[in-house]
Amino acid sequence: MSNNTVIFFTTHKMNEAIISEFKKICKTDGYDAILCLDNSSNSFSSESDSPIQELEFYGEKYKCFLFDENIHKSMNLPNYTCKKDQSFKSIMWSNEDYRFYYIRKYFTNYDYYWQTEYDIFCNGSYKLFFEKYKDDAADLIIQECALNSEKTIEEWFWYKKTDWIYKNTKKYRNFFPIERLSARAIDFLYEKRLCHGKIFSQLNDKTDNRWINCEMFVPTELINNGFSYRYFEEYLYYKPEIDLNNNRIFEKQDNRLYHPIKGNYIERLENLTKENKELKQQIKELEYFKINFIGIKIKIKRNKNK
């Protein structure tokens, strides 16, 4: 089976931990790797106007794809989110599938496209994970976010207010920090987004209707339209407030993928300590005023008794 695959690693910021994770992906033989950078804030400046550039980070050069609002507008993608915030940042969060369309436009010669996000940590090598699906022809490979029953699935927040497009439709959900789409699935979803955008723009009341979140849109459209799919279980959802890149808590490699990595725990602890110190000072000042107030109250009471 022909399986010409690219892996694009998406981030809006850069540090040594993030580039270290991308370097792990680059070491996976048999795949092209692209550093996909959200450059809407001009964080990654370059003399070239081309979105495809070679940029240097921490002494090494990498093949990069820089996307921004100009690329977004050139593809006429809908400017809607599933939240009140309609900023470009929110558009990217609500529609993480958009990045597949950007990449597909500029890198057309691939059969399959993996997307991984910057806040994933692989405790070991990505090779075992990607190789497992190398010969899999599924159009969608993603982690399922299934709930325990049909009733609780229907109560999922992103399902609500979507009858404008999915009334009487079997709805699905999945988890989006790492996923693979076939070229034909990406092309199909792109056209669907354009079609849905036209319908949504004509709705009179967008308050009672919600734009479709990517974690529902992608599986619902593909599965209901006969595309092949596969869920995986290697992924471990990680909850503790620890930055797994900067704080190595593992005694040995388990080759699992962890998400979310969270922010820097030490930095958060320092901020909380500072906030606690400020709070204690405020309490101390309030106690001072409280004592003075009680003193004045007692004095007034004594004067009244006289």
Overall size of the chain counted in residues: 306
Query: In degrees to the nearest 10, what's the CA dihedral of 221, 224, 226, 228?
Result: 70
Instruction: Give the pLDDT of residue 149.
Output: 47
Question: What are the E-state strand segments in the chain?
Answer: 5-11, 32-38, 52-57, 60-67, 112-117, 121-122, 140-144, 174-182, 229-232, 235-237, 257-259
Q: Which fold has domain 5-263?
A: Spore Coat Polysaccharide Biosynthesis Protein SpsA; Chain A (3.90.550)
Instruction: Give the pLDDT of residue 24.
Output: 93
Beta strands 257-259 and 229-232: pairing type?
A: unpaired
Gap between the Cα atoms of 232 and 290, Å rounded: 60
Residues of the chain with pLDDT under 50: 1-2, 147-149, 265-266
Instruction: Give the pLDDT of residue 263.
Output: 58
Instruction: Check if the beta carbon of residue 62 is closer than 8 Å to that of residue 14.
Output: no
Instruction: Give the pLDDT of residue 244.
Output: 67
In this structure, what DSSP letter does residue 270 have?
H
Structure tokens of 129?
């994970």
Span 81-128, pLDDT tens digits: 887 778 888 888 889 999 999 999 999 999 999 999 998 888 889 998
Q: Shortest CA distance to 35 belongs to which of 5, 68, 73, 61? A: 61
Instruction: Check if the beta carbon of residue 223 is closer than 8 Å to that of residue 229.
Output: yes
Displacement of CA 259 from its chain's centroid (Å): 10
Instruction: Give the pLDDT of residue 297.
Output: 57
Instruction: Give the pLDDT of residue 294.
Output: 62
